[in-house]
Protein backbone atom coordinates (compact mmCIF):
# COMPACT_ATOMS: atom_id res chain seq x y z
CA UNK A 1 0.00 0.00 0.00
CA UNK A 2 2.87 2.37 0.80
CA UNK A 3 4.44 1.90 -2.64
CA UNK A 4 1.16 2.76 -4.34
CA UNK A 5 0.90 6.05 -2.40
CA UNK A 6 4.51 6.92 -3.30
CA UNK A 7 3.76 6.33 -6.99
CA UNK A 8 0.70 8.57 -6.81
CA UNK A 9 2.67 11.24 -4.91
CA UNK A 10 5.49 11.15 -7.46
CA UNK A 11 3.01 11.30 -10.34
CA UNK A 12 1.33 14.38 -8.84
CA UNK A 13 4.70 16.06 -8.20
CA UNK A 14 5.88 15.33 -11.75
CA UNK A 15 2.60 16.66 -13.12
CA UNK A 16 2.92 19.96 -11.21
CA UNK A 17 6.61 20.33 -12.10
CA UNK A 18 5.83 19.70 -15.77
CA UNK A 19 2.94 22.18 -15.61
CA UNK A 20 5.17 24.91 -14.11
CA UNK A 21 7.88 24.21 -16.67
CA UNK A 22 5.42 24.56 -19.56
CA UNK A 23 4.11 27.86 -18.14
CA UNK A 24 7.66 29.19 -17.79
CA UNK A 25 8.59 28.25 -21.35
CA UNK A 26 5.33 29.69 -22.71
CA UNK A 27 5.87 33.02 -20.91
CA UNK A 28 9.40 33.33 -22.28
CA UNK A 29 8.25 32.55 -25.82
CA UNK A 30 5.44 35.09 -25.55
CA UNK A 31 7.81 37.81 -24.28
CA UNK A 32 10.20 37.08 -27.15
CA UNK A 33 7.33 37.23 -29.64
CA UNK A 34 6.09 40.49 -28.10
CA UNK A 35 9.55 42.06 -28.46
CA UNK A 36 9.75 40.96 -32.10
CA UNK A 37 6.31 42.39 -32.83
CA UNK A 38 7.22 45.71 -31.16
CA UNK A 39 10.40 45.93 -33.23
CA UNK A 40 8.44 45.16 -36.38
CA UNK A 41 5.89 47.86 -35.52
CA UNK A 42 8.62 50.41 -34.89
CA UNK A 43 10.28 49.59 -38.22
CA UNK A 44 6.95 49.96 -40.00
CA UNK A 45 6.35 53.32 -38.32
CA UNK A 46 9.77 54.55 -39.42
CA UNK A 47 9.22 53.56 -43.05
CA UNK A 48 5.71 55.04 -43.10
CA UNK A 49 6.86 58.38 -41.73
CA UNK A 50 9.72 58.60 -44.24
CA UNK A 51 7.50 58.11 -47.27
CA UNK A 52 5.59 61.06 -48.66
CA UNK A 53 1.85 60.65 -48.77
CA UNK A 54 0.76 61.58 -52.29
CA UNK A 55 -2.45 60.34 -53.80
CA UNK A 56 -1.85 58.20 -56.84
CA UNK A 57 -3.62 59.57 -59.89
CA UNK A 58 -3.61 57.48 -63.04
CA UNK A 59 -3.19 59.79 -66.07
CA UNK A 60 -5.21 57.38 -68.24
CA UNK A 61 -8.41 57.93 -66.28
CA UNK A 62 -10.78 60.64 -67.51
CA UNK A 63 -12.59 63.28 -65.51
CA UNK A 64 -14.96 62.39 -62.72
CA UNK A 65 -18.60 62.92 -63.59
CA UNK A 66 -21.13 63.32 -60.80
CA UNK A 67 -24.49 61.93 -61.83
CA UNK A 68 -27.63 63.22 -60.16
CA UNK A 69 -30.63 61.06 -59.54
CA UNK A 70 -33.68 62.06 -61.64
CA UNK A 71 -37.09 61.54 -60.04
pTM of the model: 0.49
* Confidence (pLDDT) at 34: 93
Instruction: Please give the Cα distance from 18 to 24 (Å, whole number).
Output: 10
Containing structural domain, residue 30: 19-45
Name the domain count of the chain. Answer: 1
Each residue's pLDDT tens digit in the chain (71 positions)?
A: 789 999 999 999 999 999 999 999 999 999 999 999 888 878 777 766 555 566 666 667 767 777 777 77
Is 37 contained in some domain?
Answer: yes
Residue 7 lies in a domain: no
Amino acid sequence: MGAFLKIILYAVLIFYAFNMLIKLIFRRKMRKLEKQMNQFGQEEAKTDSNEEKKPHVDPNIGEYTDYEEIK
